């Protein structure tokens, strides 16, 4: 097993252009150049080492990728729950820990680039609202990523098509998630040096801890932001359909404000409980933005946006403020969208006006019928569904 900390210098070279393949398994945790570069990217925090696991380590951790440990599948490949014990993870201190092991599908070409960027990014970035990468495996053709296990899965699975026997997210939890996501983004935009543009904000990439604290995941598309006098980075347009800012789609010019637009979409999804695109709905309602626009233009109609699953359980003035923040983030012209620091301030103000839980109506499912309303993870399987849109 090796340590990845000393790849940090390559991050700066790699993220701004085509990353050169790192020398895997190169041990030099004390290497001062690596440590300096990591501080440069994350001045006061550090994710430490990402361990280089052998494929056998991960076979053992996941019980040979047993179907019982299957969590879900995205465009990158399958994800399995696993347990890394002290015995097979030198340097992982403490007791055995639960991990999520993401295995790159062999046919994925773009995936091997994303694998590299993901490892490089998460090795140098660290924040409570960013998922932690424990390590990776790059042995032969195998490419696997080993993350901290997030017991409540993705925000997507809690927000959309929630089965009747599962408790829908209440208002306060939605606001808490919005604040946490914004803080993670604020870290990328304002603390990381150079700044990082996330480029993959969407409900599927927000993972939830036991207390519904959110963490951003999937950094394979992340880019170093513009530095110096530059206002944007020019790049092939990539992202997920509907979440990409229109200016970015049209020009290929990526800015921090592209993330702000995607965050505006996420806020609207949190408010409405609707996906940005949902083919299962009647035609006029398939596009969330088209459906929501008439309501967003008239403050008296903001309440029509609200997810019916909330059953009226929200503070009206806080709703108005949240819708306004979403509208500001979703503006077509990037320069009039707010910066993330201001969004965080606005969201924290909303979080300070919580909805009194006693006013929440009974949950859709009585515990006697469905057992305690604990989260039950249902594996998601979406073949090749990661990038529903790759422009150009
Ligand atoms: N660290 C983790 N802990 C727990 N579950 C995870 C973790 N990482 C991913 N998952 C789950 O694995 C599944 C697949 O995730 P993955 O990130 O590969 O795809 P996705 O985000 O759903 O789609 P896309 O490929 O478009 O990003 C999702 O259900 C996700 O919730
Ligand atoms: Mg994902």
Q: Are residues 72 and 101 in the same domain?
A: yes
Nearest CA to ligand 1 atom 7: 100
Of residues 348 and 29, more confidently modeled: 348
Best residue for ligand 1 mutational test, from 75, 76, 111, 154 (most atoms within 8 Å of Cβ): 154
Q: Are residues 283 and 373 in the same domain?
A: no
Q: Are residues 189 and 307 in the same domain?
A: yes
| Range with the poorest average pLDDT among 11-20, 40-49, 66-75 | 11-20
Which atom of ligand 1 has the smallest separation from the CA of 154? Answer: 31
Q: How many structural domains comprise the chain?
A: 3
Q: Are residues 293 and 161 in the same domain?
A: yes
Q: Are residues 89 and 141 in the same domain?
A: yes
pLDDT at 246: 95
Task: Find the angle CA(222)-CA(223)-CA(224) to the nearest 5 degrees.
Answer: 135
pLDDT at 91: 52
Which token pair is 350?
């909303």
Mean pLDDT for the chain overall: 81
Of 200, 218, 247, 307, the active-site residue reads: 200
What percent of the chain clears pLDDT 70, i.e. is strictly above it?
A: 76
Q: Which of 132, 148, 164 is the last residue of a domain?
A: 148
Q: Are residues 74 and 121 in the same domain?
A: yes
Q: State the CATH number of the domain containing residue 96.
A: 3.30.200.20
Q: Are residues 26 and 81 in the same domain?
A: yes
Q: How confident is the model at residue 315 (pLDDT cuts 50, 70, 90)?
A: very high
Q: Which of 148, 174, 195 is the last residue of a domain?
A: 148
Averaged pLDDT for residues 123-146:
95
Q: Output the CA 293–ligand 2 centroid distance in Å.
A: 28
pLDDT at 22: 28
- What would the pLDDT profile of 77-112 be if each residue is shown by its tens digit? 999 999 997 655 455 555 789 999 999 987 776 788
Q: Which residue range forms the structural domain that includes residue 263?
A: 155-355
Q: Are residues 175 and 80 in the same domain?
A: no
Of residues 158 and 93, more confidently modeled: 158
Q: Are residues 234 and 351 in the same domain?
A: yes
3-state secondary structure of 280: coil
How far CA 187 is from CA of 41, 58, 82, 147, 365, in Å, comes to: 11, 31, 29, 19, 38
Which token pair is 342?
């201001």
Mark whether 278 is an active-site residue. no
Tell me whether residue 202 is annotated as binding: no
Q: How confident is the model at residue 232 (pLDDT cuts 50, 70, 90)?
A: confident
Query: Which residues are near ligand 1 (CB < 6 Å)?
Result: 71-76, 79, 100, 102, 131, 147, 149-150, 153-154, 204-205, 207, 217-218, 380, 385-386
Nearest CA to ligand 1 atom 8: 100
Q: Considering every ligand atom, which ligand is closest to the CA of 240?
A: 1
Q: Are residues 70 and 95 in the same domain?
A: yes
Is residue 136 within 8 Å of 145, Cβ to Cβ?
Answer: yes
Q: How confident is the model at residue 345 (pLDDT cuts 50, 70, 90)?
A: very high
Q: Output the CA 150–ligand 1 centroid distance in Å.
A: 10
Of residues 87 and 249, more confidently modeled: 249
List, as own/partner pairs, every contact residues 22-31 make where C-beta atoms lie below 8 angstroms and the sequence separation is at least 24, other chains included: 22/116, 22/119, 22/120, 24/52, 24/138, 25/52, 26/2, 27/2, 27/3, 28/3, 29/3, 29/5, 31/5, 31/6
What percent of the chain clears pLDDT 90, i.e. is strictly above it?
A: 64
How far apart (Å, rounded) are the C-alpha atoms in residues 247 and 251?
6
Q: What's the N-to-C CA distance of the chain in angstroms? A: 40
Of residues 391 and 163, more confidently modeled: 163
Q: Are residues 221 and 143 in the same domain?
A: no
Which residues, at least 6 apart from 367, have a Cβ–Cβ distance to it below 8 Å? 373
Rg of the chain taking only CA atoms, in angstroms:
21
Q: Residue 360 falls within a domain, yes or no?
A: no
Q: State the CATH number of the domain containing residue 256.
A: 1.10.510.10
Q: Are residues 248 and 384 in the same domain?
A: no
3-state secondary structure of 362: coil
Please compute, for residue 64, the number of CA atoms within 13 A of its CA located in the half-sphere on the CB side. Answer: 0
Is residue 216 within 8 Å of 206, Cβ to Cβ?
Answer: yes
| Range with the poorest average pLDDT among 2-6, 68-72, 251-255, 314-318 | 2-6
Q: Residue 362 falls within a domain, yes or no?
A: no
Report field, pTM of the whole predicted structure over 0.85: no
Look at residue 35 and tell me whether its pLDDT is greater than 90: no
Task: Find the angle CA(203)-CA(323)-CA(295) to the nearest 5 degrees.
Answer: 105
């Amino acid at each position: 097993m090796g340590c990845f900390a000393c790849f940090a210098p390559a991050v700066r070279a790699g993220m701004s252009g085509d990353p050169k393949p790192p020398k895997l398994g190169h041990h030099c945790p004390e290497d001062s150049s690596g440590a300096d570069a990591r501080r440069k990217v994350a001045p006061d925090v550090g994710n430490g080492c990402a361990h280089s696991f052998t494929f056998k380590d991960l076979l053992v951790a996941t019980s040979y990728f047993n179907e019982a440990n299957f969590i879900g599948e995205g465009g990158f490949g399958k994800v399995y729950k696993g347990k890394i014990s002290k015995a097979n993870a030198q340097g992982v201190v403490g007791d055995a820990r639960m991990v999520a092991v993401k295995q790159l599908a062999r046919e994925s070409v773009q995936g091997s680039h994303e694998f590299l960027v993901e490892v490089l990014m998460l090795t140098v970035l660290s924040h409570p609202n960013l998922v932690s990468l424990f390590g990776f495996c790059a042995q032969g053709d195998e490419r696997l990523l080993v993350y901290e296990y997030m017991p409540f899965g993705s925000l997507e699975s809690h927000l959309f098509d929630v089965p009747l026997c599962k408790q829908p997210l209440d208002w306060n939890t939605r606001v808490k998630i919005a604040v946490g996501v914004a803080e993670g983004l604020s870290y990328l935009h304002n603390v990381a040096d150079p700044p990082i543009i996330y480029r993959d904000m969407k409900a599927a990439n927000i993972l939830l801890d036991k207390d519904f604290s959110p963490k951003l995941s999937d950094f394979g598309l992340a880019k170093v932001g513009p530095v110096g006098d530059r206002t944007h980075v020019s790049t092939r347009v990539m992202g997920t359909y509907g979440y990409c800012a229109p200016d970015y789609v049209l020009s290929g010019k990526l800015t921090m404000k592209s993330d702000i637009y995607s965050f505006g979409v996420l806020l609207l999804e949190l408010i409405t409980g609707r996906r940005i695109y949902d083919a299962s709905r009647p035609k006029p309602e398939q596009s969330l933005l088209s459906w929501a626009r008439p309501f967003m233009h008239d403050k008296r109609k903001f309440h029509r946006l609200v997810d019916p699953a909330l059953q009226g359980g929200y503070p009206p003035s806080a709703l108005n403020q949240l819708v306004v923040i979403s509208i500001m983030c979703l503006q077509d012209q990037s320069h009039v969208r707010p910066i993330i620091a201001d969004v965080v301030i606005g969201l924290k103000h909303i979080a300070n006006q919580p909805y009194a839980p006693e006013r929440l109506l009974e949950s859709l499912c009585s515990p006697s019928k469905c057992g305690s309303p604990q989260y039950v993870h249902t594996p998601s399987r979406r073949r090749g569904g990661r990038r529903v849109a790759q422009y150009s």
